[in-house]
Each structure stands twice: as C-alpha cells, then as structure tokens.
Amino acid sequence: MDELSRKVLRSFRYWGKDGLDLHVLFEAGGNDPDSRTAVFDAVEQLVKDGLLVEEGNDFYSLSDKGKIAAAAD
C-alpha cells in the first residue's frame, strides 16, 4: 500500500470517526489540485480493495478489513 493510501486510512483514526466526508480525506494530500486528485484516486482504489465503503454523498467509512489496516499502521 502506498503512503497516500495509508494517510487516508489514518485520517479515520486521527478524527476518531467511523465515516468521513471526501473533503476531510483531501487533507491527507494537502491543498494543491494535483494532490487532491491523487487522494481521490487513492480513495477509489481503497474502495476497490475493500478497505473503504462508499456511503453516498461523498462519505466513506472503513470496512472491517479497513479497520484492521488502519489500526495496524
């Protein structure tokens, strides 16, 4: 797993929430547009890998597999 994906997963632990809005997850990449695109791509991959669950309206939550990965980091 790449470092940006790890940062995205760590965001849930940092904020102490089960679900986060995509805009909060953008913080993992910083403020420039290219970084935000990279975060979006990382989130999409984490969904495909079964670590995140898309909840709708730009909200994501950790799957059981994602909770384990986030805790292990």
Chain segment 37-68, per-residue pLDDT in tens:
999 999 999 999 999 999 999 999 999 999 99
CA 48 to chain centre: 12
Residue 12 pLDDT > 80, yes or no?
yes
- Residue type at 27 in one-letter notation: E
Q: What is the pLDDT of residue 73?
A: 66
Do 60 and 54 contact (CB within 8 A), yes or no? Answer: yes
Correct CATH for 3-72 of 2.60.40.1840, 3.20.20.70, 1.10.1740.10, 1.10.10.10: 1.10.10.10
Q: Extract the tokens encoding 11.
A: 């965001």
> What is the average pLDDT score of the chain?
92
Give pTM, 2 decimals.
0.91
Bridge partners (DSSP) listed for residue 54: 60
